[in-house]
Amino acid sequence: MLEEDAEPDGSARQREATVADVARLAKVSKATAARALGGYGSVNEDTRLRVLDAADAVGYLPNALARTMSTGRSHTIGVVLSDIENPFFAKATRAISDVVQSAGFDVVLCNTDENPHNEAAAIDLLLEKRVAGLIVAPADRNANGAVARVTAQGRPLVLFDRTVDDFECDSVIADNRRGAYELARVLLRAGHRRIAFLSTLGQQNYRRGDRIRSTSVADRVDGFEAALDEAGVEIANQIVLLDGERPGIDPLLTHAVHHGATAIIASDSLIAQHVLHGAKNRGLAVPEELSLVAFDDPPWTSLSNPPVTVMAQPIHDIGAEAARLLVRRLDGLKGDVQRIVMSQRLIERDSVAPPRVKFHDLDHQENKPGLPHSCE
Amino acid sequence: MLEEDAEPDGSARQREATVADVARLAKVSKATAARALGGYGSVNEDTRLRVLDAADAVGYLPNALARTMSTGRSHTIGVVLSDIENPFFAKATRAISDVVQSAGFDVVLCNTDENPHNEAAAIDLLLEKRVAGLIVAPADRNANGAVARVTAQGRPLVLFDRTVDDFECDSVIADNRRGAYELARVLLRAGHRRIAFLSTLGQQNYRRGDRIRSTSVADRVDGFEAALDEAGVEIANQIVLLDGERPGIDPLLTHAVHHGATAIIASDSLIAQHVLHGAKNRGLAVPEELSLVAFDDPPWTSLSNPPVTVMAQPIHDIGAEAARLLVRRLDGLKGDVQRIVMSQRLIERDSVAPPRVKFHDLDHQENKPGLPHSCE
DNA sequence: TTGAAAGCGCTAACAC
DNA sequence: GTGTTAGCGCTTTCAA
């Protein structure tokens, strides 16, 4: 038995047992005890049992930190993402954990809230905790020092959902440009000519050509614009609304509707939810008065009134593939950077209808001053 | 500059820099360098700057493991829960992170999949990593050794959403019994006499009085049964369906409908989603042919067709309160175990209608053999 | 098979 | 203000 330290509150709390304690009780050396406990080296079967008995007699619990310090291996990988409440990330995380755990690694998760500062802190934290590798969905494509630090430290890194500019790195993303293109085509085919793209990410006051911080959103906006160009629709008539810092899709919706948008592309399912709510509150019938399409396909999109047309992403696969890639790198796989791009899938439901407005009138107002195509 | 180890692939990866390296470059002792780096003790401003310069010249990154080992403080808390994909846990996790981080702790998250074995592994893992304290939603109320081990190790622990039998411990839960009671009352008032309670947790083949593994589900079933008793409705006519191991609410729904259920209580929003889907697929109109009420109030429940009547839980507060309590314990708060119970709130929408069937007929069949009240 | 001792990177006494 | 030294709990040579 270990001596017990008397606690201030009178309870007796045991000092944590160490290999040394176990060794003493089992009457062997620290080294032998450690071998028996750690299951390495070779140790006589009898002594092994004796050590194990001693171990749970003193309530021995290995110290993973000490172990990592001496071996240099942590068996832990870090995952950093922006919003665990977003079903996209929840699902991807799930996939990552499954893969990574079955490969014998533990996972530590950090939430950044789309804030580059938090992200840097999270990455450094994980690096300081000496995780074996990292999987991150970077909040900012630009000069992302924290992300670069990971590889600079020589640790494997896989980016998912988003990438970072001028940075060679394994990554697994979805074909967002194509997805947005298709979504825009659906709307265009239905006759819409004034479409708003809504996202909570990126900067406010977007002008065509601006670099949007999140590459997944940037790719979508790109595909969106490409479809419009191709259809010969004036981009100036379109409305790309990015929320930047502010919370709340609702003001964006107000803005969009106020400027004549007849259809919305929601950049994720959370935004689609807000749009549907907003439309309901405003007494705007979907799709009769406002059409809606969105990225991601959580179960509710087929249950809502109306069911919504979506671009489904292979979320599970994105996470799983990112994890598999990291595990392979951890196993020592060398070789070229891998950039995996997964395709998305259109699911048409009932949230799109032709616009009620005729656009001939509006088209003549194109140059009317004061018609913004971005939100302040 | 540090010497560089040549890597097999030809790249040159730096050995990780340590305080010793920094000290050498800054021409001070290890202790001084450590003081400057760690921001403790006192050190001359000039030397401090010199050390800091040296630090980023060699790309120094502190080793949190080593620090924890010598200080005994990890500044990290562990959270273990059963399913991060469930919006309930996603939201609670978010609240926990926020509170805990602003108190200066990092958080490590583990998913258990409702599997007691995984849970034990996760708890031990966290304990081995020497987290300062734990917040756990226990998968099993019975003789939960892993949970007990936490306090046995002298580490603060707060349970949330669920508790463990015969185990004194701080906890924050919702008043599930009352919530279920109210939900049952809504259905009863509408005229329903044959109601099915659906959950993915707990054992299959439930008989009244059985101990359901998850205390939150157990409390709900308890409240459900109490309401029926009070209304003088035969419990034998009710159908408590728990999924046990199997994935899939759908077979449960089949079972319920097949045995004449006219209303469903879904034990969480994921289940409600499945029920709505299932009803749709079967061409069953909600609420005309099947009424539905559920726990939790994610945004989609007001968007669905029909919007669903729910018992909203103060999820954010549950998480935040659990975190605050843990932080206080970590700060040394002694004193009695705290058991915080938060109340739920009924939100009536359009998913409940009177049953079409008249029950006089059915009541006479009560003793008809083969009418099960639980699912195998 | 076992033991003694060194070392992982850091902090914390204790001297100077 | 700064340096020396001794740990934290484990693994890992190297001998015996």
User: Which residue is closest to D9 in terms of CA–C1' distance?
Assistant: A66
Q: Do A61 and B109 touch (CB under 8 A)?
A: no
CA Rg value for chain B: 27
Determine the pLDDT at residue B235.
80
Q: What value does the mean pLDDT take over residues B33-56?
A: 94
The reply to whether the CB atom of residue B6 sits less than 7 A from any atom in nucleic acid chain C is no
Beta strands, E only, B82-129:
106-111
Q: Min CA distance, B280 vs chain A (Å)?
A: 9
Reported as a single tens digit per residue, the pLDDT across A315-345 is: 999 999 999 999 999 999 999 999 999 999 9
Q: What value does the mean pLDDT take over residues B308-325?
A: 98
Q: Do A128 and B93 touch (CB under 8 A)?
A: no
Measure CA of the first residue to CA of the last residue in chain B; give whole Å.
69
8 Å CB contact between B29 and B23: yes
Crossing angle for the helix pair A250-258 and A269-281, nearest 10 degrees? Answer: 60
Reported as a single tens digit per residue, the pLDDT across A120-154 is: 999 999 999 999 999 999 999 997 899 999 999 99
Strand D nucleotides, any atom under 7 Å to a protein CB: 1-5, 7-13
User: How far is the C-alpha of B130 from the C-alpha of A129, rounded, in Å?
Assistant: 12
Greater confidence (B18 vs B241) lies with B18
- For residue B11, name the pLDDT band (cuts at 50, 70, 90): very low
User: Which residue is closest to D13 in terms of CA–C1' distance?
Assistant: A31
Closest Cβ opposite residue B304 in set A66, A274, A304: A304
Alpha-carbon dihedral sign for residues A245, A248, A249, A253: negative
Hey, how many other C-beta atoms are within 10 angstroms of the C-beta on A113? 17
How far: A32 CA to D15 C1' (Å)?
15
Contacts with B274 from chain A: Cβ below 8 Å? 299
Determine the pLDDT at residue A14.
55
pLDDT at B57 over 80: yes
User: Which residue is closest to D5 in terms of CA–C1' distance?
Assistant: B31
Compute CA distances B81 → A95, A150, A243, B88, whole Å: 16, 29, 32, 11
- Tell me the pLDDT of chain B averaged across its residues: 89
Greater confidence (B248 vs A308) lies with A308
Nearest alpha-carbon partner for B148 in B185, B120, B111, B129:
B120
CA Rg value for chain A: 27
Crossing angle for the helix pair A215-230 and A176-189, nearest 10 degrees? Answer: 40
Nucleotide nearest to A71 (CA to C1'): D11
- For residue B247, name the pLDDT band (cuts at 50, 70, 90): low
Determine the pLDDT at residue B246.
56
Q: What value does the mean pLDDT take over residues B194-221?
A: 89
Determine the pLDDT at residue A11.
37
How far: A32 CA to D16 C1' (Å)?
15
The reply to whether the CB atom of residue B9 sits less than 7 A from any atom in nucleic acid chain C is no
Greater confidence (B313 vs B247) lies with B313
Q: What value does the mean pLDDT take over residues B181-205?
A: 91
Determine the pLDDT at residue B366.
42
How far: A15 CA to D8 C1' (Å)?
13
Q: What value does the mean pLDDT take over residues A178-185?
A: 98
Determine the pLDDT at residue A370.
35
8 Å CB contact between A105 and A135: no
How far: B213 CA to D12 C1' (Å)?
45
- For residue A241, name the pLDDT band (cuts at 50, 70, 90): confident
With a CB cutoff of 8 Å and minimum separation 6, the contacts of B369 are none
Greater confidence (A78 vs A16) lies with A78
Determine the pLDDT at residue A373.
41
With a CB cutoff of 8 Å and minimum separation 6, the contacts of A248 are none
Determine the pLDDT at residue A203.
72
Q: What value does the mean pLDDT take over residues B272-299?
A: 96
Contacts with B63 from chain A: Cβ below 8 Å? 69, 128, 130
With a CB cutoff of 8 Å and minimum separation 6, the contacts of A251 are none
8 Å CB contact between B179 and B318: no
**Helix (H) or strand (E) run with residue A6 in it:** strand A4-6
User: Which residue is closest to C9 in terms of CA–C1' distance?
Assistant: B66
| Amino acid letter, residue A245 | E
Greater confidence (B147 vs A4) lies with B147
Hey, how many other C-beta atoms are within 10 angstroms of the C-beta on B37? 19
Reported as a single tens digit per residue, the pLDDT across B73-125 is: 999 999 999 999 999 999 999 999 999 999 999 998 888 888 999 999 999 99
User: How far is the C-alpha of A46 from the C-alpha of A98, rounded, in Å?
Assistant: 37
Greater confidence (B359 vs A346) lies with A346
Compute CA distances B273 → A184, A346, B98, B154, B300, whole Å: 29, 21, 29, 41, 9
- For residue A247, name the pLDDT band (cuts at 50, 70, 90): low
DSSP A170-215: EEEEE-HHHHHHHHHHHHHHTT---EEEEESSS-SS--TT---SSH
Contacts with B2 from chain A: Cβ below 8 Å? none
pLDDT at B192 over 70: yes
